Chain A
């Protein structure tokens, strides 16, 4: 660990996963597959391919086993982080540590600081979303765990970020707090210099491809926001539908008590509606826990990406300004001064890093959304299948005595 950990652009290209559609971010815990039978075969195939990927994986990270800690000052949750690796950067082949949310938050800040030319994955929201009341509830903790797992896996998959020193410490250190206090992280060459980029330079013209990325992200975030609102609205309507169903079913029961021959059929209908109500509740819970958080994550992701784009603009602007200043000096120096060269270097690295990350991001996004939307479709299919089973099973009950008559 230590030293220059930024690979040269050549190495970056070689490790680009652009042409490999089979990358399933391991953070892809399939959204809501309650029954194995309902998982798509496609999903299974993707996961299988991951294991026999040409690229031998040498780093595996998992987040699990949430535990509540009650102290005098506060109550909080920690998660177990298990790391398995054959990389030389790790002293041991396996590590197991406990981390809490604020540790993840710290890691992310450090990554942003030390790898400013790269896209850092988002964390789940710090504060509870409206509607989710209890931050110690099983559902909330599980949702958060999944998101934290995804966060680490995205870093693991990244050819540059996964070698980051802070990341290594996060995964391995017994006492993370001690390390945090040290603040002695060695910044990368590029990181250091970018950190000190002075703002205030005006960008002449943004290269087409980065302008396109910016536009894309703007529209993308907009559409996701709309989808988020629609999904929330659907859940709201479904819950209101559920409320009425919970009153509707029992009325058949009340009626059944008045009747003789009709008693059993009516009771059957009542039970059936009860089953459908339960199925609907499961659907709304799944959508709230698995669907909405992922949407929000991606909105946060595109926000942070836009800041990185802005930084890139700054670096370019600085370079152009310095270049212009030299040109205006009207000196006959054929050689460009060292500091302008540095700026150029900086800009080209930034551009390369960003391009590679964007491509990787696009692929992962595609996988993530394919999985997310298929999951949504799956949940709805499962809901209807449960209801179908319920109604089909009472047909014989309803028809029964007709024949006996």
Chain B
């Protein structure tokens, strides 16, 4: 693996770590590494501030979303949503939180942060962002990015992303991430100055080489297989769930018609009138209850989507050389392509040789990558179980509401 130039502003620490799911884990290691970090940094770089920052417990929230208009790179007017990120540090002693930073970011900046993390932490399963555009919609849900419900759910998703990064033992110590939370202006320039886009290519080659050694680690093959299957099954699940939601909506809403007709019918009845009328009211209540129910279910769908995106990210990391060559070369004659592939293969072989010679580092990399995958698996099992529980709780709530409404209606009918 290419050795990154010693950058005093950043720490690339493929240090062996226990799989940790606890949010405080990052702090533990931060504390542990503090002494080591101080050793490596050149004096007067202000890294003491950075390390001190992470000693305290922090709370991150994406608290608001705001519509903005501005001019884009091509000087055309555009509308976008900006999100307010607030960071609070919690005093250990009295548990009170103090607002330390507050700034506005838009979705594209989150994307930039994530792409940077992907490049610089290839052995880490980087948390995904909430979807860029609304997918798996059922008919009522707007596919419009400006829709308030979509914006709200995205706000939650972005907050979730930041919390995941902050609770990751390695990612939480990244300087660029720290600046994302604290430095409003100039952050984009700082990120681009790291030159990470250029590194992306070479890292990808190196990464790919790892997975193309003569005896690939069976675990990675299994992982790729798993993530492919997971992606497929969650997509299917989300699609069907959306259709289920659509149908359920229809069932509830048609009951609203009973409200009107019972009311009309009650007008011609003497003794039956009151009972009919009040029952009709309950039918209206029933029909309108579905809106809240389905909105709650969207949160469940979002939790599934997060792991769909996680799975997609895992799959990408193991893509084949063939795919990469067509991307690099595009339209070529077969002979030209063959020639270039040969060159690339030679380069890869060189890389492989380099890898073999730096065997220890290579194994270290795999070990760390696998450690993070184990951490990820634990997180996934925990999160998805929580998601299933909350889904079951939602269903229970819906059933109870249904029983309540129909019991009320039955009471009214009995008085007819």
Contact = CB atoms under 8 A, between A and B. Distances in A.
B265 A262 contact: no
A377 B262 CA distance: 14
Nearest to B253: A237
Interface in A161-199: none
Nearest to B260: A226
Contacts of B409: 373, 377
Contacts of B275: 370
Contact of A251 (B236, B247, B396, B406): B236
Given A258-B230, A374-B410, A241 B251 contact: yes
Place the interface of chain A in its size category. 35 or more
Interface string B213-226: 00000000000001
16 contacts: A227-B265, A238-B251, A240-B250, A248-B237, A255-B230, A255-B233, A255-B234, A258-B229, A258-B230, A269-B391, A269-B392, A366-B416, A381-B407, A388-B400, A388-B403, A395-B393
Interface of B is mostly: helix
A262 B237 CA distance: 16
Contacts of B265: 219-220, 223, 227
Interface in B206-248: 226, 229-230, 233-234, 236-237, 240-241, 243-244, 247-248
Contact of B406 (A252, A381, A401): A381
Interface stretch (B121-129, B326-334, B338-346, B381-389): B381-389
B385 A388 contact: no
B402 interface: yes
A255 B233 CA distance: 6
A380 interface: yes
A13 interface: no
B395 to A, nearest CB: 5
A12 B283 CA distance: 41
Interface in A228-281: 230, 233-234, 237-238, 240-241, 243-245, 247-248, 251-252, 254-255, 258, 260-262, 265-266, 269, 272
B272 A366 contact: yes
Contact of A262 (B234, B236, B385): B385
Given A241-B247, A384-B402, A230 B237 contact: no
Interface of B: 226, 229-230, 233-234, 236-237, 240-241, 243-244, 247-248, 250-251, 254-255, 257-258, 261, 264-265, 268, 271-272, 275, 279, 381-382, 384-385, 388-389, 391-393, 395-396, 399-400, 402-403, 406-407, 409-410, 413-414, 416
A251 B395 contact: no
Nearest to A363: B271
B264 A223 contact: yes
Contacts of B264: 223
Contacts of A230: 254, 257-258, 261
Contact of B247 (A40, A237, A391): A237
Closest A-B pairs by Cβ, 4 of them? A377-B410, A241-B247, A388-B399, A384-B402
B240 A247 contact: yes
Nearest to B271: A366
B410 A40 contact: yes
A147 interface: no
A75 interface: no
B251 A381 contact: no
B406 A387 contact: no
Contacts of B226: 258
Given A258-B233, A269-B392, A377 B413 contact: yes
Nearest to A251: B237
Contacts of A369: 272, 416
Nearest to B244: A244
A216 interface: yes
A227 B279 CA distance: 14
Contacts of B399: 384-385, 387-388, 391
Interface-centre pick from B241, B254, B389, B407 (highest chain A CB count, 10 A)? B254
Contacts of B257: 226, 230, 233
A73 interface: no
Given A219-B268, A223-B264, A262 B384 contact: yes
A399 interface: yes
Contacts of B391: 269
A392 B396 contact: yes
A298 to B, nearest CB: 12
A241 B272 contact: no
A220 B268 CA distance: 8
Contacts of A402: 382, 385
Nearest to A268: B388
A388 B400 CA distance: 7
Contacts of B381: 260-262
A244 B243 contact: yes
Nearest to B258: A230
A395 B413 contact: no
Interface string A371-404: 0011001101101110110011011001101100
A269 B391 CA distance: 10
Contacts of A248: 237, 240-241, 244
Contacts of B385: 261-262, 265, 398, 401-402
Contacts of A398: 385, 388-389, 392
Nearest to A226: B261
Contacts of B258: 227, 230
A42 interface: yes
Nearest to A261: B381
A42 B414 contact: yes
B388 A244 contact: no
Contacts of B382: 402
A109 B247 CA distance: 45
B373 to A, nearest CB: 14
A251 B392 contact: no
B237 A237 contact: no
A233 B389 contact: no
Nearest to B246: A244
Contacts of A245: 244
Contact of B414 (A261, A370, A380): A370
A78 B406 CA distance: 38
Given A269-B388, A394-B392, A251 B240 contact: yes
B413 A373 contact: yes
A386 to B, nearest CB: 9
B395 A387 contact: yes
Contacts of A388: 396, 399-400, 403
Contacts of A391: 392, 395-396, 399
A244 B389 contact: no
Contacts of A260: 381
A392 B399 CA distance: 10
Contacts of A255: 230, 233-234, 237
A392 B414 CA distance: 30
Contacts of A234: 251, 254-255
A245 B244 CA distance: 6
Contacts of B236: 251, 254
